[in-house]
Structure 1
Amino acid sequence: MRIVPLSLACLSVLLSACSPPSPPPAAQAEAGAAATEEQDAASADAGFEFPAIPQIMVPSIVGSGPAQRQLESSMQALIDPLAGISVRPANCSTDGALVNESGFTNVDAAGNLQRVAGEGVFDVAADGSGLAVTGEDVVRVNPDGSGSIVNSAGTFEVKADGSGTYVGEFGHIALDGKGGGTWVGDFGNIENHGDGSGLWVGEEGSIEVRADGSGRWIGGPEGIAENRGDGTGTVGAVAREVRMAPLPPLPPAGRFPLLDRFRPSGAPCGFVVTLSDKVLFDFDKAQVRADAGEVLDGLSGALAKVPARAIEVRGHTDAKGSDAYNQDLSERRAQAVVAALRQRGVAQDASARGYGETQPVAPNEVDGRDNPGGRQLNRRVEIFVRT
């Protein structure tokens, strides 16, 4: 066996592979030219590929969903109230008792609804458009499905043609509703012109795609690349010819979906019709005023259309006067309303109950001073219709 002594270069074999001896300069030049020809041939065979421009994303729009659910949770089927009569949903405890909660619902003759409760503030038109302000969202929906949303996901502005804008954690997105749009974010800036062309300036450099399949890439491994769109192109600062497939057109950008309209819906156990004492009674009296007949006629007609399991008329007062006096006044007023409804052919099985000053819906005093507006709200008769 012949032993060949190791060269100094090969002593580094543990760190790198041994290399053959270098050829003379002339041979190096010939070999370099051959290698360049081989690389060009390989490039021509394999073609030169541009990176794909990312598609503009349409963020998931919550729409009026959460706000709608908040409204549904606080609403129920409502009678058609008269002007000046408010209606609110009735929530009951597990034993079936009415839970006295703050908030009101009012529906005018045109079907426009206002709802103020712990779930939020809702101002909804008869066509389902409107404004909702809840703990999670501020949602405005227009009759044509356009509108705006502000929530933890960002700010959306949506138009009826699918165009709009989004500003949030994903950056800034603008869509024209026709397939074009822009997207600015941490990754750079994307433009989609909607005709198959576009531009991306970002981590890969500047990439332009034209509608005819041509394009340009600045900042890639070759520094600059030009695609003619006819299967050929050039790469490098000193342009050399390579094969390039025409660039595929950019798919059109998406559209923002229209917003859901609001739909007042049912609630657990019925509803409560609230009438101010001014509608029915003179001050400190329990006899129904003669001019309250029209209100009671309309209310009776509405109640006659509602399939009710039970009706309870509940009297309430403010805190002026003694507890005993207010309790008696609230009972007499509740009984007077029951009698008036029975005379009109409804609420034959209705019960009457007085609560005196025990269930206020507003403060009777503020900072130790009289609060006339609050006391007025507390002087009321409620008709609890259990459905």
Structure 2
Amino acid sequence: MRLKNLSLACLALLASACSPPSPPASTQQEAVASAAGVTKPDEASLADGGFEFPAIPPIMVPSLVGSGPAQKQLEASMQALIDPVAGISVRPANCATDGGLVNESGFTNVDAAGNLRRIGKEGVFEVASDGSGLAVTDEDVVQVNPDGSGRIVNGAGTFEVKADGSGTYVGEFGHIALDGKGGGSWVGDFGSIENHGDGSGRWVGEEGSIEVRADGSGRWIGGPEGIAENRGDGTGTVGAVAREVRMAPLPPLPPAGRFPPLDKFRPSGAPCGFVVTLSDKVLFDFDKAQVRADAGKVLDVLATALGKVPGSAMEIRGHTDAKGSDDYNQDLSERRALAVVAALRQRGVAQDASARGYGESQPVAPNTVDGRDNPGGRQLNRRVEIFVRT
């Protein structure tokens, strides 16, 4: 089914698409007419007067995208947000599996256990280290529990999924309920289907009422004969005035499926330290790599704070906006990173720190908007980051 990109995720779900099959009208068996104790009809009579039980359609199990749509909102929300007025900010650092810094702003809060909380224009996200959590966006509400159960709500419908595979869906394709044990029901434009999970079931819809029992017997009301009764023992009757015939027992209904577990959230990296970001206005004159004299007080406070972090590795990272050539910006970012390392070493810290320039390759804001210069965005991109690994 579709859930808005399920269309929460299907907290999403719930956000990817699934479509129900149209109820088929194929047959499950062919009745062989013959009168009990009377002469058997010939083959021509069977072809002309025979009838077919329509097959009861299987109950759809929609594809779940789980946290997918909300995950995208979560990733979009984790763009670096730096205050150009204050000129300095601190955020948690996330690292990829190779230990490298993930270039994005952190959640509002990351605790020691790796539980993340983020509040922004994209929504509210509370994600545990095991991938379970809650996301509330303008499109989805996604709740994923540690056992894969949860709830997804959006404009396309609502999913309630339990760990045992049972659950419900209510949306554009109707109402689907699964018990996780092979039974379930589906009510939609085509009518209603019941699967009892033991081989029996019922479909009431465009073909009339078709019932299949676990012992191979069944009944069809509304077909070409008006009514057909299958006893499940090789005999049955057809017609409003019952006519005895031979009938093969009806095959059992296959079990209904189960709802799959919901996809969990994927936190972007693991907490690995913090990043101090300094606007270039705090440290440098325009297009210069020499630390300004009036930046000394900021560096004194910063050095004192960094000196209280024991056993940490540190990388000073220079960044520029996109004005000028790539080579020029790369060189400027490297010289600025080296200047900050030197200033911190003069203050007794960062003795083992490395310095690296990234030029204009890692912007945190657009340098242009609709083809026009974006001074505010460029200001955010001109920065020095101090990545402290803890």
Residue among 237, 247, 253 paired with 2:250: 247
Residue among 120, 124, 132 paired with 2:123: 120
Secondary structure in 1 matching 2:202 = strand
Residue among 130, 134, 137 paired with 1:131: 134
Secondary structure in 1 matching 2:54 = coil
Indicate yes or no: 2:301 matched with 1:288: yes
Match of residue 183 from structure 1: 186
Closer, same or farther in 2 for the Cα pair 1:188/1:302, shift >3 Å? farther
Match of residue 281 from structure 1: none
208-217 or 115-124: bigger deviation? 115-124
236-245 or 114-123: bigger deviation? 114-123
Match of residue 216 from structure 1: 219
User: 1: distance between equivalents of 2:92 and 2:302?
Assistant: 22
Match of residue 112 from structure 2: 109
Closer, same or farther in 2 for the Cα pair 1:265/1:340, shift >3 Å? farther
TM-score relative to the length of structure 2: 0.58
Indicate yes or no: 2:322 matched with 1:311: no
Secondary structure in 2 matching 1:288 = helix
Match of residue 92 from structure 2: 87
Aligned-pair distance for 1:272? 4.1
165-174 or 237-246: bigger deviation? 237-246
* Kept in 2: contact 1:123–1:130 (CA 8 A): yes
Aligned-pair distance for 1:303? 4.4
* Kept in 1: contact 2:312–2:388 (CA 8 A): no
Residue among 341, 345, 349 paired with 1:343: 349
Residue among 308, 313, 316 paired with 1:297: 308
Residue among 66, 71, 74 paired with 1:71: 74
Aligned-pair distance for 1:86? 3.5
User: 2: distance between equivalents of 1:103 and 1:265?
Assistant: 9
* Kept in 2: contact 1:154–1:168 (CA 8 A): yes
Aligned-pair distance for 1:117? 3.7
Structure of higher CA gyration radius: 1
* Kept in 2: contact 1:86–1:107 (CA 8 A): no
Instruction: Map 1:1-387 to 2 at 5 A.
Output: 42-43=45-46, 48-72=51-75, 86-87=91-92, 104-265=107-268, 272-273=275-276, 288=301, 297-298=308-309, 301-304=311-314, 308=315, 310-311=316-317, 338=344, 343=349, 345=351, 347=353, 349=355, 383-385=385-387
Closer, same or farther in 2 for the Cα pair 1:266/1:242, shift >3 Å? same
Closer, same or farther in 2 for the Cα pair 1:111/1:40, shift >3 Å? same
TM-score relative to the length of structure 1: 0.58
User: 1: distance between equivalents of 2:159 and 2:91?
Assistant: 33
Q: Deviations over 1:102-138 (max 9, x none)?
A: 9844211111011234443321011111012234322
- Give the % identical residues: 72
Q: Deviations over 1:69-98 (max 9, x none)?
A: 34345559xxxxxxx9642789xxxxxxxx
Closer, same or farther in 2 for the Cα pair 1:296/1:134, shift >3 Å? farther
* Kept in 2: contact 1:130–1:142 (CA 8 A): yes
User: 1: distance between equivalents of 2:192 and 2:208?
Assistant: 11
* Kept in 1: contact 2:307–2:349 (CA 8 A): no
Secondary structure in 2 matching 1:68 = helix
Closer, same or farther in 2 for the Cα pair 1:342/1:178, shift >3 Å? farther
Q: Match for 2:317: what amino acid?
A: I
214-223 or 37-46: bigger deviation? 37-46
Closer, same or farther in 2 for the Cα pair 1:104/1:68, shift >3 Å? closer
Q: Deviations over 1:323-377 (max 9, x none)?
A: xxxxxxxxxxx99x946985264546499xxxxxxx9xxxxxxxxxxxxxxxxxx
* Kept in 2: contact 1:88–1:104 (CA 8 A): no
* Kept in 2: contact 1:232–1:241 (CA 8 A): yes
- Gapped regions of structure 2 (runs ≥ 5): 1-39, 80-88, 96-102, 279-296, 320-339, 358-364, 366-382
Q: Deviations over 1:137-180 (max 9, x none)?
A: 22111000111111243111111111111011100001011110
* Kept in 2: contact 1:47–1:244 (CA 8 A): no
Aligned-pair distance for 1:263? 1.5
Q: How many residues align?
A: 271
Q: Match for 2:111: what amino acid?
A: D
The alignment's C-alpha RMSD in Å is 4.4
Secondary structure in 1 matching 2:267 = coil
Q: Match for 1:87: what amino acid?
A: P
User: 2: distance between equivalents of 1:143 and 1:382?
Assistant: 39
Secondary structure in 2 matching 1:160 = coil
Match of residue 316 from structure 1: none
Secondary structure in 1 matching 2:259 = coil
Aligned-pair distance for 1:66? 2.4
Closer, same or farther in 2 for the Cα pair 1:142/1:46, shift >3 Å? same
